[in-house]
């Protein structure tokens, strides 16, 4: 997900100040990775430059604050983005695969690497299970998404471990 489109989506819901957008972004999308204030305001500046939002200054006790609102162009961009399915990533080349092949090429312990990666994934799955137990529905759904990806990696690790001998022969023959 891109930050600009997420901010536009939040603005389509209602006009907001930058601080409120950051809070809402962090609440719904920033689990463990809060959006820096500087990124919020630089993104809003670019969106305003491109005609997708407007900013109206509001005087107050402190420095003027801007309330941002989405424009028709911004609304159209959100509508187009929401209507487009996310393309399935091909994952034909991953860091996991690269490390296994290089370990085999260099005569290192590829099986040991796969075992260590499996242990790391299992540890993360236990952490995510705790998040699901104690978190909100949003937390649980995000944890499920991450866990499904980890499960796919674990299946790949098992299959690769079973085929490691054949892969080693293929790598050495090249």
Query: What pLDDT, on the 0 to 100 scale, is given for residue 151?
Result: 95
Task: Quote the pLDDT of residue 162.
Answer: 97
Which residues are within 8 A (CB) of 53 and not within 5 positions of it... i.e. 6 or more apart? 8, 11, 44, 47, 68, 69, 70, 71, 74
96 has pLDDT over 70: yes
- Is 74 among the domain residues? yes
Per-residue confidence (pLDDT) for residue 94, from 0 to 100? 77
19-24 CB contacts, 8 Å cutoff, 24+ apart: 19/65, 21/68
Rounded to an integer, what distance in angstroms lies between the CA atom of residue 148 and that of residue 89? 15
Band of pLDDT at residue 19, cut at 50, 70 and 90: very high
What CATH number did the domain enclosing 68 receive?
A: 1.10.10.10
CA distance 23 to 15: 14
Q: Are residues 99 and 163 in the same domain?
A: yes
| pLDDT tens-digit series, residues 31-86 | 778 899 999 999 999 999 999 999 998 877 666 689 999 999 999 999 999 888 77
Confidence of residue 98 (pLDDT cuts 50, 70, 90): confident
How confident is residue 91, by pLDDT bands cut at 50, 70 and 90?
low
Residue 61: the pLDDT is 62
Separation CA 71–CA 24 (nearest Å): 20
Instruction: Work out the mean pLDDT of the chain and round it to a whole number.
Output: 89
The answer, yes or no, to whether residue 14 has pLDDT greater than 90, is yes
- Asked if 103 and 40 sit in the same domain, the reply is no
Q: Is residue 89 part of a domain?
A: no
Partners of 58 in beta bridges = 65
Structural domain range at position 21:
2-83
Residues 79 and 99 in one domain: no
Give how far Cα 81 sits from Cα of 20, 24, 74, 75, 85, Å.
23, 19, 11, 10, 8
Question: pLDDT exceeding 70 applies to what percent of the chain?
Answer: 93
* pLDDT for res 88: 66
DSSP letter for each residue of 128-160: HHHHHHHS-HHHHHHHHHHHHHHHHHHHHHHHH
Question: Which DSSP symbol is given to 70?
Answer: E
Are the C-beta atoms of 11 and 74 separated by less than 8 Å? Answer: yes
pLDDT exceeds cutoff 60 at 1: no
Answer yes or no: do 57 and 77 share one domain.
Answer: yes
**Do 78 and 100 fall into the same domain?**
no
Mean pLDDT for 107-129 is 93
Co-location of 100 and 69 in the same domain: no
Residue 15's pLDDT is 95
User: Is 61 part of a structural domain of the chain?
Assistant: yes
Question: Shortest CA distance to 49 belongs to which of 73, 79, 16?
Answer: 73
């Amino acid at each position: 997900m891109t930050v600009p489109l997420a901010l536009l989506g939040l603005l389509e819901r209602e006009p907001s100040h930058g601080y409120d957008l950051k809070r809402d972004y962090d609440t719904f999308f920033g689990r463990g990775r809060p959006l820096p204030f500087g990124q919020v305001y630089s993104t809003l500046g670019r969106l305003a430059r491109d005609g997708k939002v407007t900013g109206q200054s509001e005087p107050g006790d402190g420095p003027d604050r801007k309330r941002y609102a989405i424009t028709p162009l911004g609304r159209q961009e959100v509508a187009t983005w929401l209507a487009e399915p996310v393309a399935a990533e091909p994952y034909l080349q991953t860091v996991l695969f690269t490390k296994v092949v290089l370990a085999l090429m260099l005569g290192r312990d590829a099986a040991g690497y796969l075992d260590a990666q499996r242990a790391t994934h299992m540890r993360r799955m236990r952490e995510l299970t705790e998040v699901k137990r104690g978190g909100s529905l949003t937390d649980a759904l995000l944890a499920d998404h991450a866990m499904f990806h980890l499960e796919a990696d674990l299946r790949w690790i098992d299959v690769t471990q079973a085929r490691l001998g054949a892969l080693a022969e293929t790598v050495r023959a090249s």
